[in-house]
Structure formats: C-alpha cells, structure tokens
Amino acid sequence: MPMPADTAPPSPSADPAQPAQRVSAPLSPPPPPHPLADSPRRWLALAALTLSVLIIGLDGTVINVALPTLSGELGASSAQLQWIGGGYLLALSVVMLPVGLLGDRYGHKRLLVGGITLFGLASLAGTRAGSPDELIAVRTVLGAGAAMIMPLSMAILPRIFSRQELPKAIATWTAATALGMPVGPLVGGWLLNHFWWGSVFVFNVPVAVIALLAAVWLLPGDHDRAPAAPGPFDVTGTVLSVAGITALVYGTILVPDHGWGSPKVLAGIVGGAAVLAAFLIRQRRTAHPLVDLGLFADRAFRWGTLLAVFVNFAVMGILFVVPQYLQSVLGHDAFGTGLRILPLIAGLMVAATLSEPIAKRFGPRLVIPAGLLLLAAGALLGATTAAGDGYGFAAVWLTLIGFGFGSAMVPATGLVMGSLPAERSGQGTSLLETVQQVGGVLGVAALGSVLSAGYLGRLAVHRLDASSAHAARDSVTGADAVAARLHDPGLRASAHAAFVHGMDLVMLTCGVCAALAGVLGLLLLPASAPAPGSPAAPAREGRSSADTADGVAAGGAGPGESVA
C-alpha cells in the first residue's frame, strides 16, 4: 500500500545498519483502459479465465474419486495415496506467493499461459504414470501449475472490466472455482465406470488446450499493464516462505494419521510458524519485499481478506464432511454424491447473480456479514441432522450454505480487489489466495480432528475383537465393511449415528465461526467499497486506498474514481 505523500526516502548517509525503508513515489494515473473494457470480447475473455480455474476445481476433486482405483491398479499404499493429494496441496501453497510478484513484473498473461501449459502437460504425463511415486510427482507439478493459474487469472480481471462490471466478473470467476467441486466427482465417477484410471487425467488435457488457446487469443497483452516497480527479487524471502509454508502444510497433512500430539506434526507446525514469523520480519525490513505487508494497512484489504478466510474455512470444512455423509451414510456413489452437492452450487450461483446490485446498494459492511450469517444459519441447521434424516433435509441446508457462501465471498473478493493498486494486483491476489489456501488446509485438519473425536466418542465396538474394532474405528467405511462381514446391523447403525454426530460437531464449529466472522464484519468493514485500482478506474493522486476505505462515505470517491 502506498505510504503518505510526505514520507521521504532515506538519505545516502543513513545508517546502513538500520532496516531499509520502503518508499512509494506519488501515485500517477494508471494507463488507459485496454480496448476490451468496452468490447463484447471482454465476456469471452472472462470465459477463458473461468475455464482456466474450472480445470483446477475439476482436478482437485476428480482425483479423490480415483484413489480407491489407484490403490488397486498401481498398488499405492495409504501413505502414497495421502501424498497424491498432499503433494498437490503443498505445491499449490508454496508456489502461489512468489507467482504474484513475478506476474506483476513480467506479465500476468505470460505467466498465466505458462501455468495453463504446465497444467496440461502434467495432466498428459499423469496418464502414463506407472508407479505411485511417478503419480505423486505429476500431482506436485499440477499443484504448481494451479498456483500460477489461480491468482493471475484473478489479477487480470480489473484490466478487462470497468469498476461497475468488476463485481459481476468476480462473481462469475468465483462460481467457476466452486463449480469444479461437485462436477469433479460426476466426471470422475463416469470416466472410471467406462474407462481406465488414467482417463481422469486425459479429461484435463482438452480443457487445458481450449483454455490455453482462449487465453492467448482473448486476454489483453502484457504491454498494456501497469508494471510493478523494478528492484531485485527477494530470494531470501522466497526461500523463507517456501520453507515455512512447506513445514506448516506438511505437518498439517500428517495430522489425520499421526494426531496433533505427534512429534512430526508438532515439529512441522511449530517450525513452520517460526520460519513464517522470520519471513514476516524480513518482509518488513527489506526494501523490495516478496509480499507488501503494507497492503494490510488498507482497511478494505485487511478485513476483506480475513473474512474471505473465514468463509473458506467454513466451506472447506463442510465440503470435507458432506461427501462422506452422502456416500457412507446415505449410500450414494461418487456420481450420485456430485449430483447431490449441486444445491450448494445452485445457491452460490443465485447469490453471485444477486450480490452485485445488493452490494452496490447496501455496501460491504451489511452484505458480507449478512452472507456470513446465512452461511452460519445453514451450517447450524445442518448440525441438527440425525442419522435417520434423508437427503431432502440436507438439500435445504446445502442450498442455504451455498447462498451464504456466494453472498459473502463474492463481495469480500471484490472488496479486496478494489483496494489493490493496478501495478500490484498480482501480489495482492497471490497473498489473498495463499492465506486462504493455508487457512483451508489447517481448517480441514482441525475439523477432521473434530469429526474423528465425535465419531470415536459415539462408536460402540466393545463387542468386537481387536482387529475388527481397529478397522471400525479407522473410518465409517471400515465399520461398514466389518458389519457386512460379521452380519452385524447394530454395528452399522452405530457407525452411521457416530459419523453423523461427528459431522454435526463439524457443522456446529463452522456455523459458530461464520457467525463470529459476521459480527466482526459488522464492526470492522468499511461502509463502502473502494473503487478498483484498475485502468478502468483512474487513481486520484496523493491519497491512499486506506483513506478511501474509511472516508468514501464522506464523499471521498465519486463514480468512476478510485484511490489506489
């Protein structure tokens, strides 16, 4: 975030032992809007961007359907299966942060095209993987490609759309990222029923090719963007961020198998947190940081990002338990499970459509908390689910959750995007996505522990031998297998009731977190959103976005103006 205009640079005689001070020159108006800002082609460009993030959502969930098949076909152990997913998450988390700064310096489109290409090539390699280790390597490369696509595709949006149309574009982009979640199991289930396991990777290839061609043809060139300030790349900061996030995510991935008290888990989480603390200190002291922590001084960016993390935490937790409930308790296959999650997506789509005019009329301070409270209401309603309830009840609270998700996430993302200077949109979106991603990983691990504690606390295994009891305790699927082998309907009923109890605790936790976030939003969010710092909204020189976020209600920014 730009510093006040009266901040002077350090003199050449300044003490070299003192930390370097970052200085921002007075803001100048960004370059003229790209021709797409007034062209019907901008919607085709948006289609290219949404297609690029759709393949990420598809790939992220389609692999979960294929895990049992991969175990049989490739002989993957449970640890290897865990890292087929974990390697992807790890690469996605660590690559995303430096990608934003690289995009700001060398071109958003250039790196986005590179990310889509990498994703397509890795998917093609996945079809020929002959061992679990090769597949883990492929998934890691896929995660790196996804880390390039997500923040940069978002960073391009303000260069294509005007201030008035940006919320609608963000709503479409957000819906595309969420749409892949239920569609992935649908596609994966159908492919595995008709073809071999590698078909789940083949599916990515034509989608990536179409997204690549559309991006090359439709997206604005990098010569039209506002370039980031030159300076040396923060190699030390990059190493610290990669090491810290790797340790933190690695320790979190081990939680389901080892528990929170495991030395490996504690070493990863505590060590990762310590390294990230060193990273933050480094970012405050270096003249050319990897992440501009000054962005958090902007009220809109700070609270918009925090509330987006709350939303992501709650929704990721819900999407972690609901598919298991639909499959293990209600007995649906992967294809049927994907179909039955569609009410959540339908609610999201409706909210995304309505969020723009509502947010424009009532402002983020009312709309985002209202969405969070709707999300909380849906989660708390889901927390009352009983083992005997059918899918009809679940469809009600899934729809409400989806509507709350869209009502909160779309304007929160718009609020963050509106606070970013055009020349640092990549940095800002990478920071937003990284914080959300790491928060989501930590949240799923924590909520997985809540689910496990609730399940084990209600499961009756006292009549079973040690081996059968261990299998039943491992998962509700394992308990069903033991019950089928022993012809014990009582064990099956106990396992289903225990799982639903654990799910209710997860839903309760998500609901309470969303409600608390809604209250925070009411107290801390700016009354009006700042105009996006994009070519379509020229900046006013000499004021910061923080000034606008706090003072727009007093007549700061007029229509078509923004303060970057």
| pLDDT tens profile 59-115 | 777 776 777 677 677 777 766 777 787 788 888 888 888 888 888 888 888 899 999
Q: C-alpha angle 492/493/497, rounded to 5°?
A: 120
Type of residue numbered 123: S
pLDDT band at 122 (very low <50, low <70, confident <90, very high): very high
Distance CA 543, CA 564 (A): 8
Mean pLDDT value across residues 362-391? 91
The structure tokens listed for 306 are: 């925090």
Distance CA 521, CA 367 (A): 9
> What are the start-end ranges of the H helices in 234-382?
235-253, 255-258, 263-285, 299-324, 334-340, 342-362, 364-382
| pLDDT tens profile 511-532 | 999 999 999 988 888 876 655 4
The residue ranking higher by pLDDT, 275 or 227, is: 275
Strand partners, 539: 562
Distance CA 135, CA 132 (A): 5
pLDDT band at 16 (very low <50, low <70, confident <90, very high): very low
CA Rg, the chain, in Å? 24
Strand partners, 562: 539
Give residue 230's pLDDT. Answer: 65
Q: Of 516, 511, 512, which is closest to residue 369 (Cα–Cα)?
A: 516
The residue ranking higher by pLDDT, 388 or 220, is: 388
pLDDT band at 228 (very low <50, low <70, confident <90, very high): low
Q: Of 294, 35, 341, which is closest to residue 186 (Cα–Cα)?
A: 341
DSSP result, 500-543: HHHHHHHHHHHHHHHHHHHHHHHHHS-SSPPPP-STTSPBPTT-
Mean pLDDT value across residues 253-276? 85
Mean pLDDT value across residues 132-157? 89
pLDDT band at 560 (very low <50, low <70, confident <90, very high): very low
Mean pLDDT value across residues 138-162? 87
- Is it the case that residue 405 has pLDDT exceeding 60? yes
